[in-house]
Amino acid sequence: MPLTTARRAKRRGPRRFTSRDLAVIGVLLGIPILLDLALIWGPTLASVGLSFTSWDGIGDIHWVGIDNYKTLFTDYPPFWPAVRNNLLWVAFLGLVATPFGLLLAVLLDKGVRFSRFYQSTLYMPVVLSLAIVGFIAQLIFSRDQGALNAILANENDPVDWLGDPDLNIWMVLLAAAWRHTGYVMILYLAGLKSVDPSLKEAAAIDGASETQTFFRVVLPTLRPVNIIVGVITVIEALRAFDIVYAINHGRNGLELLSVLVTDNIIGEASRIGFGSAIAVVLLTVSLGFIVTYLVQELRGGKKG
């Protein structure tokens, strides 16, 4: 049995801690875990619990079963438009903004001159708060004084870019993409810089074209970045709130799940139970994506 003992010893090796080590681990690992459980997961469970009640925030808590959900799915007009807009947001960021950010990163990674200038410019919108983005969107898209209508010179028949419920979501998505692209670009650029150049050289020697090299050799080595970018894209889309809130408080074509939650909880009605039910829907959708990614991550970790 020398084999097993050797393996066991090897396994046990890194786990041999002194009492000082254990104290350091206990405190420094304990604080973040406690914070996370008390301020993130505890409240999440509480929200799930509240979604089955008709609590208004002040009086007694009454259990109402799944009534909130029934009302939500069948008798709450803004719900389905909000779901549609959230999905649209995911699709637009994922299929337009993210690939565009990747393209820009690849181009900048070729070592062009003025690369610093391009990077700074493209990343600039990321550091702006979404509320400011929403405000700038008003400067551009407003019907009467907006820059876009001025460029189009359509004074006689101005387009109300943000007021038209069929149109405004696309304008808002454009503003969100403006911010998202630079973020994706900088993440990929960082990843691309760390790719071993000899990989590309080897692929070139084997006769691979530049496109083949990128998709078959470079992109797979960027797996960690791909995962981060994917996660960020989905979260941003599900969390979207500030832009629409700054523009028109999320009404008239700009409904989002996050806005509906806030409206019900903070609004005058203070329907905390009902608002929590919407929050739980948002939670379920997010968890679907989150679990998918974590499974991916696990598989990648085992392979690597």
Partner 1 sequence: MTVTTPTAPVRTVAPVTGPGKRRVTRGRLGLHAFLMVVSLAFLAPLLLAVYASLRPYEETAKYGYFSLPRHLSFDYYAQAFNDSGMGKYFVNSLIIAVPGVLLTLFLASFVAFCVTRLRIRGGLVLLMVFTAGNLLPQQVIVTPLYVLFTKINLPYWMSDSMTMYDSYWAVLAVQVAFQVGFCVFVLANFMRTIPDEIVEAARVDGAGVWTQYWNITLPLCRPALAALATLQFTWMYNDFLWALVFISDGDKLPITSALNNLRGQFFTDYNLLAAGSVIVALPTVLVFLLLQRHFIAGLTLGASKG
Sites for partner 1 among residues 39-98 (CB under 8 A): 39-44, 46-47, 50, 57
- Among residues 45 and 91, whose Cβ is nearest to partner 1? 45
Cβ contact 55:61 at 8 Å: yes
Among 81, 96, 170, 200, indicate the residue that binds partner 1 (CB under 8 A): 200
Query: What is the closest distance, in whole angstroms, from the C-beta atom of residue 83 to partner 1 in the complex?
Result: 14
Stretch that binds partner 1, among 22-30, 63-71, 87-95, 160-168 (CB under 8 A): 22-30
Measured from the CB of residue 74, what is the shortest distance to partner 1 in angstroms? 22
Least distance CB 61 / partner 1 (angstroms): 11
The 155-174 site mask, x for binding partner 1 (CB under 8 A), equals --------------------
Q: Which of 7, 8, 31, 66 binds partner 1 (CB under 8 A)?
A: 31
CA pair distance 180, 175, nearest whole angstrom: 9
CA distances from 104 to 110, 123, 127, 192, 304 (A): 10, 11, 18, 12, 28
Q: Which tokens in the block code for residue 114? A: 């003025």
Which of 82, 104, 171, 243 is the binder for partner 1 (CB under 8 A)? Answer: 104
User: Considering the complex, what minimum distance in angstroms separates the CB of residue 70 from partner 1?
Assistant: 21
**Residue 220 binding partner 1, by CB under 8 A:** no
Please pick, from the candidates 25, 87, 91, 269, the single residue that binds partner 1 as defined by CB under 8 A: 25
User: How many residues contact partner 1, by CB under 8 A?
Assistant: 107
Nearest distance, CB of residue 75 and partner 1, angstroms:
21
In contact, 296 and 223? CB cutoff 8 Å: no
Across the chain, how many H-helices and E-strands are there? 17, 0
Which residue from 258, 280, 282, 276 is spatially nearest to 55, judged by alpha carbons? 276
Q: Select the residue interacting with partner 1 from 1, 3, 9, 18 (CB under 8 A).
A: 18
Please, what is the minimum distance in Å from the beta carbon of residue 191 to partner 1? Answer: 9
- Which region, judged by CB under 8 A, interacts with partner 1, from 72-80, 87-95, 165-173, 199-207? 199-207
List 53's β-bridge partners, or say none: 63
Helix (H) or strand (E) holding 176: helix 168-193
Q: Residue 57 region, left (φ>0) first, then alpha (ψ -120 to 50), else beta? A: left
User: Smaller CB distance to partner 1: residue 1 or 211?
Assistant: 211
Q: Using CB under 8 A, which of 61, 67, 69, 138 touches partner 1?
A: 138
Q: Is 1 in the site for partner 1 (CB under 8 A)?
A: no
**DSSP letters for 81-136:** HHHHHHHHHHHHIIIIIHHHHHHHHHHHTTT-TTHHHHHHHHHGGGGS-HHHHHHH
Site string for partner 1, 110-129 (x = CB under 8 A): xxxxxxxxxxxxxxxxxxxx
Which residues are registered as beta bridge partners of 63?
A: 53
Q: Is 111 left (phi over 0), alpha (psi -120 to 50) or beta?
A: left
Cα distance between residue 281 and residue 261, in whole Å: 10
Residue 222, interface with partner 1 (CB under 8 A)? Answer: no
199 sits near partner 1 (criterion: CB under 8 A):
no
Of 169 and 263, the one with the shorter C-beta distance to partner 1 is 263
Is 154 among the residues that bind partner 1 (CB under 8 A)?
no
Retrieve residue 292's tokens: 């998918």
